[in-house]
Structure 1
Amino acid sequence: MNDPLRLAGLLLAGTSLCAIPALAEEVASLGPIPLDPITIRGLETGAVLDGYRADVISSATRTATPLQQTPQSVQVLSPELLEDQAVLSMSEALRNVSGAQGTIPLQTPAFESTLLRGFPAEFYRDGMTSYINTGDANAMAGVERIEVLKGPNAILYGGGTGTPLGGLVNIVTRKPLPATVTELGLTYGTNGHVEPSFDINRRITDSVLFRMNGSYVRSGADPDVIETDRYSFSPSLTFGHGTDTRLTVEGYLSRWEQQEYQGLPAVGTVTGGFEIDRDLYIGDPDIPDSHTETRKLTLTLEHEFSDRWSNRTQVRYGENEVEQITQIILSNAPDAGATDWALYNSYVPGEQTEYSVNSSFEGRFGTGAWNHVLLFGADYSRIEDYSLMYMDFAGSNDLANPGDWPAWTMPSTLAMGEGDGTYTTSGAFVQMQSSAGRLHLLGGLRLAHLETIYDSEGYGRRDRLEETRLLPRIGAVYDLADRWSAFASYSEGMKANAFYFYASTPKPELSRQAEIGLKFDGGALSGSIAAFRIERENVPVTDPTDPTFLTSITEGQQRSQGVELDAVWQPGGAWKVMANYAYTDAALTADVPLGAPAGSKLPGVPRHSGGIWLDYDARKDRGDGWRAGAGLQAVSSAPLDQMNSYETAGHATVNGSASFTQDGTTYALAVKNLFDTDYDLPMYGYMGGRVVPGAERQVLLNVSKRF
């Protein structure tokens, strides 16, 4: 650890927070304090949105805070943007965020491989962890907006195995509203894509609201064999609307079925003296479908004690089910002949159960020239995860000129990965936001407790990690002018790593981020530019003294640093423009024993990435009329593996869409990869990295009716 940095963080955060008891006494003695009125539109949804831009958000601080006063890089993907781009997957949505690389849509949703700022990101749903993000992870029907927070977010976000590293993607779902609305939609497109969807909202009584939405997708894909079936269904009820106490009960059922897709090896695609068919599906074409399913029940209780003090408590119970069935290859290069690969029948079942609760109190008060927002609370999360991995040798095949594939049969040999894991995170936190004139300060502390127990009956071992640590977060924003502000922040995180056997007592992985930047909001033009540095230590790496290479040691070190730019231009007419760019330098800072040397670039992370979307909307208040838009996304080359032996080439793709609305009916046409560009993507995290050919041109027609 960088002790001076950590000490400075603790001292600065402590300076802000130690005044809390004294402030509370002073507030009590003063009685009512006259404050300037603050009007925050859309408080029930936690954000204020205007087209593609956001003015007020809640994910970064768990309080309704103007984005311009938030000392952190945050990007908000609005429902208008997602609709205009005809977004079909989370990875497609995240192309609008600087420094983000999304999970391959064909990947089995049994592990999450999204990257932010070069490090693994985690998905949250309404501020609570989604752990490995199972079920239909790409369902868009119930998504209100997507809020992306960059870097370790340890103060307010726990759960799963601990702090998100590169950041978190918080999916904010559609909540019941005091209106009667029905919207039905149908999308049809290339590869037999069919997607009906619905959204129904009803006001049952003055205080009881109901909403239900969902979608079903059936689609083929460019690779042979692949057929996907996925659906999601989200009913919700709000009791006490319009009163000081509100309870929202939300259900979520989601399922995904498809033949597991493992991508293609590096040799024969991005390198090598022979070519593998880009549409090749590796393995038995009659292999059974893999599937994942998730079921969640969430209760959210909100109570306003007064116009200045409130409480929000969330409780969630969830169950996940995973079944991965693969005829897998283990190498990026031929291992059974000149162009032949060995094949292994693999079977991975798993079940996870989640118990989570968090509760926070918010108070707004003033002292002298300062206005304060105090947040304090606690959270607890317990994930029980049981999984097995069976693998048997199946045979081999020539991937350059495939013959008959061996038939997939249920394997019986227990392979690495069998285990029964329990991951518990808990913490108490306090955060103070204080503003006076042009200066806005944030200080926070979290007392974080982390405990993991990983049992393996088959291997006769038990690994346990338990750690309690004080984690700071500090930040400041200074308004340089009416439209410009400068910000700086520092935060630390702690997490465990699941699915590893350790050669000795494991240590928790620690992370820290420093970030500086500028934010601008001139009405028409808004956005931010930020420079950051994230450091990780105690990353699991293979134990060099273990001849079986089955165990790990927590000695790895990594670093990511770079510059990011995100901007929205809305001049007030029909035009809207959204753009982003990221320079990301992510690398090892210490040698991996018997592996990659320090300086090796992290897999799946391009040095340069960015995009732009232009939209012309001639409708009046999103009513009758037409709109059209087009965009470009581009990335530079990216390594496939940690040794940097292989890399994908840089590429650029163009998308476009147009729609016409009349009397509540919208007809929309979207074209993805307009010029049918050939390109490859890295499939980060799958057996050391794989190549996935980019999707060919895709045409989609959507008809929706709102009444």
Structure 2
Amino acid sequence: MKFSHGQAALLLAGTALWTGTVAAQNAVQLEAITLYGSDDGAVIDGYRAVTATSATKTETPLKETPQSVVIVTPQMLGDQGVTSIAEALKNVSGAQGSALLQTPAYESTILRGFQAEIYRDGLTSYLNTGDPNAMAGVERIEVLKGPNAILYGGGVGTPLGGVVNIVTRKPQDRDFTTLGLTYGSNGYTEPSFDINRRLTGDGTVLFRMNGSYVRSGSDVDGIKTKRYSLSPSLTFGHGTDTRLTVDGYVSKWKQQEYQALPAWGTVAGDFRLSRDLYIGDPDIPDSHTSTRKVTVTLDHDFNDNWSSKTQLRYGKNEVSQTTQIIISNAPDAGASSWNLYNSFVPAKQTEFSLSSSIEGRLTTGAMEHRLLFGADYSRIDDWSLMYMDMMPVGTVDLLNPSAWPSWSMPQGLAMTDGDATYKTAGGFVQVQSTLGKLHLLGGVRLAHLGMESVSINYARTDTISETRILPRIGAVYDLTDQISAFASYSEGMKANPFTFYSGSPKPEYSRQAEAGVKFDSGAGLSGSLAAFRIERENVPVTNPADPFMLTSIPEGQQMSKGFEADVVWQPGGPWKLIANYAYTHAELTADIPNGAPAGSTLPGVPRHSGGLWLDYDTREAGGEGWRVGGGIHAVSSANIDQMNLYKTAGYATIDLSASYTHEIASVALSIKNLTDRDYFTPYYRYLDGRAARGEGRKVLLNVSKTF
């Protein structure tokens, strides 16, 4: 942690300001202390979620949903002083968020051992570029675990590990303004705002805009991050049968590319590198990513039983990654020396998504039914190149680095290139039926997946055109008024972006089965226990005949299985508790040719992980008062590389927070990694994996005022 006396003085002076991305959330979101329903039908009570929409796209109680769903509620985000999506996901069993310093040019969030996808208000957020950790516009996070192709088929196909659906703040029928500033360790500075206005006297036209700007240093030498997001939203027809909402989203991220550290010298080997080391030219140009999106949502209620929803999104992404890279986890130029190569990766994407559905309720005899049917279409145009020097530009002893070679643009043809178009389309039908204590869910999707990828350098065009019926079935049985048992099965199909095939490409298929129990007792205890198994086939693996390891063949098979528990205890007094635990075993189920054998554990997936947060809250219904909370997050060791040669050690970190609210002002103090625990996490997207420095102790002060 780099936290000077001067910064401490400024931090204390900051209490006079009106602020805080996180504290701003507290000031507005304290309403979550009492039961409320959001515009999209979700019902939240403090830390406890009663209903959610992500799993079924209908207003279904979690207790009647035959699949694992976890909601990170507004009050959780505010009480814990959450500043990133990855931090929020610590509240979810089996979830590992993207590394904070990672360039947001791809998504590396993991659920149940496999890659998850980030959705924004129910539509794919391809690559999640720009500032993916901006919290100013986030109301809550709904996590749906496992493949669910019935309702989520955009982007490049079915999400595999699951969906992390970011539900954004929408215009409200009242006027308020919240201003903010968060300040803390490593010069972390984040001004933010949230403005909501009724534009007409009858409240039918509403406007809301929120945004934040972050400027921060890092525990890693020399790294400086700048990022911002801006989210305007306009609703017409609020409170009427027909509502039209237009959401904008503009976001940008800028920082030196961080490639983490090699395994040798961090978690293995006979020497230890500085954990704060930044590898490469310290004057390298910044990498940057940006996104611009507009989403139009039309909701219409035909009557009390039938309604429709149509969403359309158009967006553009840009990526520029500039790196002076090492290509080996072990020294390749001497005892503690590595060769360096200049690299440059530019990319652009254009995305278009359209989804429309009709929901209805009806009764036949003793059975109640909820019907959902609709269709969706998605097209993504994705252009990217990778330039990399064929020969080293220099050699550096990473144990005792001195002069770094200057970065320059790599010369010659791109090592990889691709101009790809991904199309998904589908029609779906879902039926939810209740007969007494039995709740049934059945659905089917006629899914089409298309891909065309053109490589000029490789003089080839890869295509996929596949149509497949994807089922989803599930059942919940109420054992008592408080406990229910559930089981479900679903299938998925997807393409794999950024994959250059040496033979004919194939779509990847997935299957998930899970079973468990859900509970919601009168004593304030709620949650779920679940066992699951996910299988994958046609997974791209490195072509053993390619000496540069740049092309793939679709011959991989993988499996993940395990057990998860997510529990909330909220007895109605000042105490609240969140706890989660996951046992995850993810492995190869077929040999990779000339590579890792079957049985090898997948990189980046700890066998055990979990956390606990305990909060004592004296605030009244209006938000007045103080609260204090603390928690622990722990994970076991995890492999860095697919051959399982290197692994990180297990670790645990402790977080604390406290806040005080008086009238319309709030002050909150958060301490992350209280004991300043040193640890590494797998950073496996770089070639054969890397070890990333864990974030050290971080102190943040948030002061907010709403008027």
Using the alignment, how far apart are the partners of 2:480 and 2:227 within structure 1? Answer: 49
Q: How far is 1:684 from its partner?
A: 2.7
Q: How far is 1:543 from its partner?
A: 2.6
Q: How far is 1:545 from its partner?
A: 4.0
Correspondence 1:183 to 2:182: no
Aligned twin of 1:193? 188
Aligned twin of 1:124? 119
Correspondence 1:493 to 2:488: no
Aligned twin of 2:77? 82
Deviations 1:441-473 (A, max 9, x none): 000000000001111112211111110000000
Unaligned 5+ residue runs, structure 1? 1-39
Correspondence 1:72 to 2:72: no
* Paired AA for residue 467 in structure 2: T
Q: How far is 1:549 from its partner?
A: 4.0
* Paired AA for residue 386 in structure 1: W
Correspondence 1:333 to 2:318: no
Matched position secondary structure for 1:83: helix
Using the alignment, how far apart are the partners of 1:509 and 1:117 within structure 2? Answer: 17
Aligned twin of 1:379? 376
Select 2:301's aligned residue among 298, 301, 304: 304
Q: How far is 1:432 from its partner?
A: 0.2
Q: How far is 1:41 from its partner?
A: 6.0
Using the alignment, how far apart are the partners of 2:38 and 2:251 within structure 1? Answer: 28
Matched position secondary structure for 2:88: helix
Contact 2:68 2:144 in 1 (8 A): yes
Aligned twin of 1:612? 612
Deviations 1:601-653 (A, max 9, x none): 00000000000000011110152210000000000000001000000000000
Aligned twin of 1:4? none
Structure number with greater CO (CA < 8 Å, separation at least 6) is: 2
Deviations 1:335-373 (A, max 9, x none): 111111110111111100001100000010100001100
Matched position secondary structure for 1:132: helix
Using the alignment, how far apart are the partners of 2:221 and 2:113 within structure 1? Answer: 31
Deviations 1:481-522 (A, max 9, x none): 010000000000000111222232211100000000000000
Q: How does 1:661-676 map to 2 (within 5 A)?
A: 661-676=661-676
Matched position secondary structure for 2:75: helix
* Paired AA for residue 554 in structure 2: T
Contact 1:183 1:200 in 2 (8 A): yes
* Paired AA for residue 620 in structure 2: K
The verdict on how the C-alpha distance between 1:327 and 1:639 changes in structure 2, with shifts beyond 3 A counting, is same
* Paired AA for residue 355 in structure 2: N
Deviations 1:265-309 (A, max 9, x none): 000000101111010000011111100000000000001111111
Using the alignment, how far apart are the partners of 2:420 and 2:227 within structure 1? Answer: 28
Aligned twin of 2:360? 363
Contact 2:544 2:595 in 1 (8 A): no
The verdict on how the C-alpha distance between 1:226 and 1:43 changes in structure 2, with shifts beyond 3 A counting, is closer
* Paired AA for residue 513 in structure 2: A
Matched position secondary structure for 1:80: helix
Aligned twin of 1:10? none
Correspondence 1:529 to 2:529: yes
Correspondence 1:99 to 2:94: yes
Instruction: State percent identity of aligned pairs.
Output: 69
Q: How far is 1:146 from its partner?
A: 0.2
Using the alignment, how far apart are the partners of 2:663 and 2:575 within structure 1? Answer: 23
Matched position secondary structure for 2:274: coil
Correspondence 1:482 to 2:481: yes
Aligned twin of 1:63? 58
* Paired AA for residue 619 in structure 1: R
* Paired AA for residue 440 in structure 1: H
Aligned twin of 2:316? 319
Correspondence 1:502 to 2:501: yes
Contact 1:611 1:631 in 2 (8 A): yes
Matched position secondary structure for 1:92: helix
Matched position secondary structure for 2:92: coil
Aligned twin of 2:696? 696
* Paired AA for residue 331 in structure 2: P
* Paired AA for residue 111 in structure 2: L
Correspondence 1:568 to 2:563: no
Aligned twin of 2:132? 137
Q: How far is 1:411 from its partner?
A: 1.1
Aligned twin of 2:462? 463
Select 2:37's aligned residue among 24, 36, 42: 42
Using the alignment, how far apart are the partners of 1:41 and 1:555 within structure 2? Answer: 49
Q: How far is 1:556 from its partner?
A: 0.5
When normalised by structure 1's length, the TM-score is 0.93
* Paired AA for residue 495 in structure 2: A
Aligned twin of 2:592? 592
Correspondence 1:240 to 2:251: no
Using the alignment, how far apart are the partners of 1:79 and 1:330 within structure 2? Answer: 42
* Paired AA for residue 260 in structure 1: E
Contact 1:183 1:704 in 2 (8 A): yes
Contact 1:113 1:684 in 2 (8 A): no
Aligned twin of 1:405? 404
Aligned twin of 2:680? 680
The verdict on how the C-alpha distance between 1:449 and 1:600 changes in structure 2, with shifts beyond 3 A counting, is same
CA RMSD of aligned residues (A): 1.0
Using the alignment, how far apart are the partners of 2:417 and 2:251 within structure 1? Answer: 25
Correspondence 1:161 to 2:156: yes
Q: How far is 1:403 from its partner?
A: 1.3
Q: How far is 1:687 from its partner?
A: 2.0
Aligned residues: 668
Select 2:207's aligned residue among 200, 207, 210: 210
Contact 1:389 1:414 in 2 (8 A): no
The verdict on how the C-alpha distance between 1:362 and 1:41 changes in structure 2, with shifts beyond 3 A counting, is farther
Q: How far is 1:398 from its partner?
A: 0.5
Using the alignment, how far apart are the partners of 2:153 and 2:176 within structure 1? Answer: 36
Q: How does 1:417-428 map to 2 (within 5 A)?
A: 417-428=416-427
Q: How far is 1:85 from its partner?
A: 0.6
The verdict on how the C-alpha distance between 1:603 and 1:428 changes in structure 2, with shifts beyond 3 A counting, is same
Q: How far is 1:410 from its partner?
A: 1.1
Correspondence 1:171 to 2:170: no
Contact 1:141 1:213 in 2 (8 A): yes
Q: How does 1:633-648 map to 2 (within 5 A)?
A: 633-648=633-648
Matched position secondary structure for 2:592: coil
Matched position secondary structure for 1:45: coil
Matched position secondary structure for 2:632: strand
Aligned twin of 2:6? none
Unaligned 5+ residue runs, structure 2? 1-34
Matched position secondary structure for 1:389: strand
Using the alignment, how far apart are the partners of 2:317 and 2:39 within structure 1? Answer: 29
Using the alignment, how far apart are the partners of 2:599 and 2:623 within structure 1? Answer: 54
Contact 1:246 1:302 in 2 (8 A): yes
Q: How does 1:229-268 map to 2 (within 5 A)?
A: 229-268=226-265
Aligned twin of 2:5? none
Matched position secondary structure for 2:393: strand
* Paired AA for residue 62 in structure 1: K
Contact 2:414 2:457 in 1 (8 A): no
The verdict on how the C-alpha distance between 1:371 and 1:128 changes in structure 2, with shifts beyond 3 A counting, is same
When normalised by structure 2's length, the TM-score is 0.93
Deviations 1:517-554 (A, max 9, x none): 00000030000000000000000112334455443221
Contact 1:43 1:64 in 2 (8 A): no
Deviations 1:569-625 (A, max 9, x none): 001001110000000000000000000000000000000000000001111015221
Aligned twin of 2:13? none
Select 1:227's aligned residue among 224, 228, 245: 224
Deviation larger for 175-184 or 119-128: 175-184
Deviations 1:85-140 (A, max 9, x none): 11111111111100001110100000111110000000000000011100001000
